[in-house]
Structure 1
Amino acid sequence: MALPNKKHARIQASVSPEGFTVLSLQFSSDSPARHSVFVKEHKVRAQKSSGRPLDRTLFVLNIPPYCSEAVVKDLFSQFGSVRSVELRDHPGSFEESGPKLSRFFKPAEKQGFKVGYVVFESPSSVAAAKSHPHDEPLVVCTELRPVKTGVQKWIQQYSRSFIHTEELQQTVDSFMQDYDKRKEEEAEREKQEAEKQQEDEEGWIKVTRGHKGAKARPHSEAANQRVLQREKNKKMRKELLNFYSWQHKKTQKEHIAELRKKFEEDKQRIALMRAQRKFRPY
């Protein structure tokens, strides 16, 4: 009875104490060396983005440098249909804002082990990947999926580094068209918001009905400042000036001090003009 138990223990997947399942990678079928990657279900409640669904995303650690996104997708496709693969240098939030840059304008990737997020079409594929036996390695390089390394990889990267002028021009034109379109949409959106916040002479704001499900937008800061300034001006016009005798005396003193200051300035100006009008025959 001991042999079946040992066989069953050998078939079961090896689970690390941190909750990761260990999967074995083998570069080729005749390679004696094996590499271990660690996988577990992606469960980050703070991320509610559709790019990484919580029930269909597999988090992978220790991906070797020779595994590209296409290679990782082919490796995990045996567990089910893969929708997308994302490789990064460090774990982080999903980035979906902003335009997607072309390969010509992307910075050089760091060479090293990476982390990955594999998104499947079905939740059962995540469970299938986690239950894969550790003794059955996933073969990276096959006849149908050759992976180049060493000098062949360097030659391939060098040949891809040359950029064709026509392809680069098409990429630039496409990017600029998307950029102009985004700018036009931004300007139109700002114009609509300005029209919504536009006030008439009496300070009323025209309220228009937005699209279905839109929430009411509060007044802008500039509109609030204009309303406060208008109320302040009204309050100043209503105040009685020089109503009390001490207010009248204070106003007279300030007026006399202002006249004396101007008189002194005029005296200095006249003295300067006289000094400049001296007779100079030579």
Structure 2
Amino acid sequence: MAPSKKKHASNQPCIIPGGFTVLSLQFSSDSVSQHKLYVKEHRVRTEKSSHRPLDRTLFVLNIPPYCSVAVVKDLFSQFGSVQSVELRDHPGSFKDSEPKLSKFFKPAEKQGFKVGYIVFQNSTSITAAKSHPHDAPLVVCTEQHPVKTGVEKWIQQYTESFVQPEKLQKLVDYFMEDYDKQKEEEAERQKKEAEQQQEDEEGWVTVSRGQKGTKARPHSEAANRRTLQKELKKKKRKELMNFYTWQHKNTQKEHIAELRKKFEEDKQRIALLRAQRKFKPY
């Protein structure tokens, strides 16, 4: 089959099936090879997250490993002001409930191509990115914004992995202050609950009405603790009664005698009902 003589016109975007626009990516101005990015407007209506507005979010595929969040933000800033950039290993919904680790201790990132969600300040930036000419590649590494790769990148990552003791100590002190504050607030709350749920001499519990819209709780932690202590005392008293083996045997004999007596009484009652013809088992 002979190749088609038609070529993409210059200064025109290249759109492929699926609605993706192809953007050429070049590492430096003197690079011979080019990389391809595939961009599309983010239109997942089932996602109700304000972090990815439908009219201002651009979905990007095939982002190379040497493009960090800062690099991607700088590349797409030529189409308009970028509000946020999110890089992920796979497409998916926004997860804001993930545990946030310390900035000094980060999990190891997977090396490979990623997908990105770029949120612009204005919706016109989406149109500008989709209409970018295919023949005008985006340059990653420039004199104003150099990007390190290879051994230089590894050395930089290794150097940045060291934690300064002063910064770490400040973070630990801040964490402990916040922890102590939370413990004090919890102790104060328990103290107030104990005061509100005071138990009088007769064993009654005072039920206080809480804030508007909240249900009153008849038992507090202090009241539950006192009840548990009473049950433990009863159990210990019962254990002391049957401390010796002969006491335990006598208790068992008395229990068996009571069961036999009750059984004989039930037999007499059943016989009396039969005699009166009032017994209907079925």
Normalised to the residue count of structure 2, the TM-score between the two structures is 0.64
Per-residue CA deviations over 1:59-78 (Å, capped at 9, x if unaligned) read: 11111000000010100111
- In structure 1, the residue matched to 2:54 is 54
Answer whether contact 2:208 2:216 (CA < 8 A) is retained. Answer: no
Look up the SS of the partner of 2:107 in the other structure.
Answer: coil
Q: Give the counterpart letter for 2:155 in structure 1.
A: I
Offset of residue 134 of structure 1: 1.1
Shift of 1:187: 5.3
Residue 145 of structure 2 is aligned to residue 136 of structure 1:
no
- The amino acid that maps onto 2:51 is G
Matched with 2:93 is: 93
Residue 102 to residue 217, structure 1, CA distance change in 2 (3 Å): same
Q: C-alpha displacement at 1:259, in angstroms?
A: 4.9
Shift of 1:14: 1.0
Which residue in 2 is equivalent to 1:44?
44
- The one-letter code sitting in structure 1 at the alignment partner of 2:140 is V
1:21 Cα deviation after fit: 1.1
Name the CA distance, whole Å, in 2 between partners of 1:125 and 1:186.
Answer: 48
Aligned CA distance change for structure 1 residues 56 and 158 (closer, same or farther; 3 Å): same
Cα distance change of structure 1 residues 166 and 25 upon mapping to structure 2, 3 Å threshold:
same
Letter in 1 for 2:137: P
Counterpart contact for 2:22–2:134, Cα < 8 Å: yes
Aligned counterpart, 2:257: 260
Shift of 1:118: 0.8
The SS at the match of 1:9 is coil
Cα separation, 1, equivalents of 2:84 and 2:42: 14
* Counterpart-to-counterpart distance in 1, 2:185 and 2:79: 43
AA matched with 2:17: P
- Please tell me whether residue 152 in structure 1 is matched to residue 143 in structure 2: no
Give the match for residue 106 of structure 2. 106
1:155 CA drift (Å) = 1.3
Change (3 A) 1:206 1:40: same
Which ranges in structure 2 are unaligned for 5 or more consecutive residues?
A: 1-5, 220-253, 261-282
Change (3 A) 1:176 1:207: closer
Counterparts of 1:114 and 1:161, CA distance in 2: 23
| Percent identical | 64
State the alpha-carbon separation in 1 of the partners of residues 84 and 184 from structure 2: 29
- CA–CA distance in 2 between the matches of 1:187 and 1:126? 49
Question: Quick one: which amino acid aligns to residue 67 of structure 2?
Answer: C
Q: Distance in 1 between matches of 2:172 and 2:207?
A: 47
2:207 touches 2:216 (CA, 8 Å); kept in 1? no
Tell me the SS of whatever aligns to 2:145. coil
SS at match of 2:38: strand
CA deviations over 1:198-229 (Å, ceiling 9, x no partner): 9x9799884743xxxxxx67899x9xxxxxxx
State the partner residue of 1:31.
Answer: 31
**1:12-55: CA deviations, max 9, x gaps?**
21112112111110000010110001111112222222211111
Question: Matches of 2:43 and 2:214 in 1, distance apart?
Answer: 34
CA distance in 2, matches of 1:7, 1:57: 30
Q: Structure 2 vs 1, CA of residues 81 and 207 (structure 1 numbering), >3 Å: closer, same or farther? A: same
Aligned residues: 217
| Deviation readout 1:53-103 (Å, 9 max, x if unpaired) | 111111111110000000101001111111111111112221223664333
1:170 CA drift (Å): 2.1
Give the SS at the match of 2:78.
Answer: helix
1:1-282 correspondence to structure 2 within 5 Å: 9-97=9-97, 100-177=100-177, 183=182, 206=209, 208-209=211-212, 258-260=255-257
State TM-score, norm by structure 1. Answer: 0.64
| Structure 1: 5+ residue stretches without partners | 1-5, 210-215, 223-256, 264-282
